[in-house]
């Protein structure tokens, strides 16, 4: 009887110590970086949508809600903190497409409609609130591709074509409506990677292929069109950045990779300094962990929204203030 009581006491002390350690860890984590909830999306919760930002408006559409592939299209007013529905995307409803903005217009294409990978490519004019189909993506069908736009040129690469993960890149000239293959990317094949633009350079990393999360991280110079490998995402012991289905964005010259999937949905946020090629973890998203979210960024403000965790599809919207102290009460 005495042995049983002693074991109970030891078990109680062990539980108390574990609880204390957990609280200490939470207190030490991410004391820089604060999140504030913004206007919840007016439409149906979803994941794997496309997004792009033009001036101070974030545009979002398509995606998957767990039952249906979507074609509705919306705009979020960053200054006013409200949503408005725009003209539906006229192409096949889809998820896992790409989106970027270029010269005041938005572009989207590729993706998956539940049966097939896609290669069509479209332009959205926010002034006319209308869509125009453009030349099909030069690299063929795919989903989970990477995309970015810089120096009057759009780029799409990597992804999955239904049989094979890809590592090719193609560039789009909006004035000629033509695609040209871009050679020189030395990275690995992957799908569901993240990109961001900081200090006039493009950065690409994360993603998955052959069941492995990719650790290589790359910088693209749009002037020379040369890719340069940077510090790997697992180079330092404290880095736990490898994942897929994350989102990338930039604020005031620093890059960010947020949320994603690595065996389960994630909520951690990593900040990248291009000048020192180093990463720092800041406060995690103050919301449900998630994969396949979207982001809006006008260069000085950024938002992470939507996505899913398991079968729960989300419609919330959070703004990141990376230089503020964490505040659990806002």
- For 51-61, the pLDDT digits (tens) are 999 999 999 99
Give the torsion sign (CA, 171, 234, 142, 254). Answer: negative
The model's pTM is 0.90
Tell how strand 82-86 and strand 308-309 pair up: unpaired
What gap in Å lies between CA 74 and CA 124, rounded to an integer?
A: 12
Categorise residue 85: left if φ over 0, alpha if ψ from -120 to 50, beta otherwise: beta
| Among the listed residues 56, 58, 57, the one whose alpha carbon sits nearest the alpha carbon of residue 306 | 58
Tell how strand 278-282 and strand 226-229 pair up: unpaired
Q: What pLDDT does 23 receive?
A: 34
| Among the listed residues 144, 147, 171, 146, the one whose alpha carbon sits nearest the alpha carbon of residue 160 | 144
Query: Above 70 in pLDDT, residue 104?
Result: yes
Structure tokens at 168: 């090719």
Q: What is the mean pLDDT of the chain?
A: 91
| Among the listed residues 232, 204, 231, the one whose alpha carbon sits nearest the alpha carbon of residue 218 | 204
User: Reduced to 3 states, what is the DSSP secondary structure of residue 76?
Assistant: strand
- Lowest pLDDT segment from 61-70, 157-166, 202-211, 321-330: 321-330
Mean pLDDT computed over 60-65: 98
Name the pLDDT band for 9 (thresholds 50, 70, 90). very low
Stretch (H or E) spanning 148: strand 146-150
Ordered by where they begin, the domains of the chain are 31-325 (2.120.10.80)
CB 66, CB 312: distance < 8 Å: no
To the nearest whole percent, how much of the chain has pLDDT over 70?
Answer: 90
What gap in Å lies between CA 206 and CA 208, rounded to an integer?
A: 7
123-133 pLDDT, tens per residue? 999 999 999 99
272-317 pLDDT, tens per residue? 999 999 999 999 999 999 999 999 999 999 999 999 999 999 999 9
Residue with tokens 């989102």: 247
**Complete DSSP assignment for 236-290:** STT-----BS-EEEEETTEEEEEEEESSSEEEEEEEEETTTTEEEEEPPPSS--B
Residue with tokens 């940077």: 230
Residues linked to residue 98 through DSSP beta bridges, in sequence order: 109
What gap in Å lies between CA 193 and CA 3, rounded to an integer?
A: 55
What gap in Å lies between CA 16 and CA 8, rounded to an integer?
A: 12
Q: Which residues contact 50 (CB under 8 A, 6 or more apart)?
A: 60, 61, 62, 63, 97, 98, 99, 108, 111, 294
| Among the listed residues 287, 281, 181, the one whose alpha carbon sits nearest the alpha carbon of residue 225 | 181
CB atoms under 10 Å from CB of 74, counted, come to 17
Q: Which residues contact 328 (CB under 8 A, 6 or more apart)?
A: 286
């Amino acid at each position: 009887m005495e042995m049983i009581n002693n074991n109970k006491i030891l078990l109680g002390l062990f539980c108390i110590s574990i609880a204390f350690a957990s609280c200490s860890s939470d207190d030490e984590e991410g004391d820089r970086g604060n999140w504030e909830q913004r206007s919840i999306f007016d439409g149906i919760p979803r994941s794997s949508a496309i997004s792009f930002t033009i001036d101070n408006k974030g545009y979002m559409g398509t995606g998957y809600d767990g039952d249906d592939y979507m074609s509705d299209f919306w705009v979020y007013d960053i200054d006013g903190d409200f949503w408005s529905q725009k003209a539906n995307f006229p192409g096949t409803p889809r998820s896992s497409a790409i989106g970027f903005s270029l010269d005041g217009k938005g572009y989207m294409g590729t993706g998956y409609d539940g049966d097939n990978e896609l290669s069509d490519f479209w332009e959205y004019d926010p002034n006319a609130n209308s869509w125009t189909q453009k030349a099909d993506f030069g690299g063929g069908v795919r989903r989970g591709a990477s995309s970015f736009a810089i120096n009057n040129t759009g780029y799409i690469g990597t992804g999955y074509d239904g049989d094979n993960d890809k590592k090719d890149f193609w560039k789009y000239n909006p004035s000629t409506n033509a695609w040209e293959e871009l050679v020189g990317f030395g990275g690995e094949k992957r799908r569901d990677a993240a990109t961001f633009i900081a200090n006039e350079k493009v950065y690409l990393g994360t993603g998955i292929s052959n069941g492995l999360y990719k650790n290589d991280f790359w910088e693209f110079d749009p002037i020379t069109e040369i890719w340069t490998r940077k510090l790997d995402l697992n180079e330092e012991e404290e880095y736990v950045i490898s994942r897929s289905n994350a989102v990338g964005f930039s604020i005031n010259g620093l890059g960010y990779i947020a949320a994603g999937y690595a065996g389960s949905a994630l909520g951690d946020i990593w900040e990248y300094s291009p000048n020192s090629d180093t990463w720092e973890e800041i406060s995690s998203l103050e919301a449900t962990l998630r994969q396949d979210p979207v982001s809006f960024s006008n260069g000085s403000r950024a938002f992470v929204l939507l996505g899913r965790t398991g079968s729960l599809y989300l419609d919330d919207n959070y703004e990141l203030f990376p230089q503020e102290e964490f505040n659990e009460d806002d």
